[in-house]
Chain A
Amino acid sequence: MSADILIDAEDVQRYYQSGTTVVKALDGITLAIRLGEYLSLMGPSGSGKTTFFNIIGALDVPTGGSVKLGSRELSSLSTAELSYLRCANIGYIFQNYNLVEVFSALRNVTLPMRFLGLTEAEANDKAAKLLERVGLGHRMDHLPGELSGGQQQRVAIARALANDPMLVLADEPTGNLDTNTATSIVELLSELSREKGVTIVSATHDHRMLSVSDRVVYLRDGKVERILNRDELKISVGSIGS
């Protein structure tokens, strides 16, 4: 495997049993994702974007094939090793934000740092800086329920960056947001990607994400349909196609 490859997915399959039929959510996906790359996974609902996202994020296990994060084969890791890997190396951003509703914005951001062993003071200090960076310095003591959707997603972005991960996975990060807020979230992700050199993989329906992507992988029926580099995307006002 090349040194600049962060994720190496080889013939990844994920099958589900639904009654008597087998649903092939992923049907042999092979994809290498480079360090520092901004990659978008596009495709219609049911194409396998979220399933692939979950598998490369060590949140779910494939039925077949292999996934390597750096040099580590995910299937060979124990539950505790996977927890550590998720905590130290991967940041997650979800469509529904998935913030802990009983914790303030600050405490939500400190959570992964505390799991990694930072003291409360260290974690608070770093979380405050991250919240300042995403424009929420003035709302860090608010509960998620007191924040707008866009603000909650900013908290989720700050939380994803808490442990300086090498990989940030964003599953439909703009899916629940209005147009203006979604644009600001896309811009923020793009800026942070450049600033911190972090690899971002985003499962999305949102064509705005294409303009900031280095590569776009189109999935259909659990397979890679095509892969386009940024220079191959035809972006024009009002429509984006290939």
Chain B
Amino acid sequence: MTPARRATIEFLLDNLVWLMLIVVLIVFSLTVPRFFQFGIFANIIEQSTFVGVMAIGLAIVIISGNLDLSVESTAALAAMVTGLLFATQGIGLGIALEPAWLILPVSLAIAMLVGAAVGMANGFFVVRLGMSAFIVTLASFIWVRGLVVAISGGRSAQSLPAAIRVVGTADILGLPLLAWISVGCFVLFSFIMAKTPFGRYVTLVGGNLEATYRAGINSNRILFVSFVLAGLLAGVAGWLLAIRTSGATANLGVGMLFNAFAAVVIGGVSLKGGIGKLPGVYAGVLLLYSIHTAINLMGLPAHYTQMILGALVLAAVLLDTLKLRLREKLL
């Protein structure tokens, strides 16, 4: 095989998920009535924001060789705290700040702190005490959702002030601001993962913990920070979710963990750690939400929606597996 041919095949395989996304978008555009319009594509990017931001943190933890099942509940907690403090209806305390725009950085900082605190707790138990990440974060998934129910009493907080709602309603160049935020998060963290020592260490630690330890890399610190980052990003996702729905309910975000995991896997991140790139994860998120949107537009009978979604996710993962085999065979 010539080097040029090899490079082409490698490029195609590395970006297979993007090709899949393009193919899916073309198929939906041709077959689903009223799918092919700018607004629908903008909706797909906007709706993928919450799972997308959540999936960045999840992917970082998985690439580092661990697992975080708590991101969905952490996002829900951050959303509920945002709603509880700043919403004006329901159980919202309606805290107002002067000047009004201060609510944006203050609420974001609080949501990030909430998320980071859960991430630190996870990191402490997994890294410092050596407990299984699966068990620790499963426990967090449960207790954090329980905390959401406890602090809300099962009630909802609604109607966030206009100063914060602007994030959910404004658009720039026709694209919702929420969409720009998710794109921005992916660009930023893709850069961090690809171009900074931290990003490279995360991949190295996930690939071979022993070797990085021997190379003098503080692997425990890298693992701990990856959990904190996952929590922090889940907090941001929850903050965005609260803004999008103008408040929070006790079941907000339920089911998003499945979507985040599916996106990460479809995006080419190995559950064994050490392999994966964030642009692929973003393509995975967009692919999932293209499917969601197509199902919404097709008006399929309610009972079949989950079946179709599951089958399409399976098909996407199957293609990814075929890609790995093809790579082994050809390269």
A and B: interacting chains: no
Residues of A within 8 A of B (CB): none
Residues of B within 8 A of A (CB): none
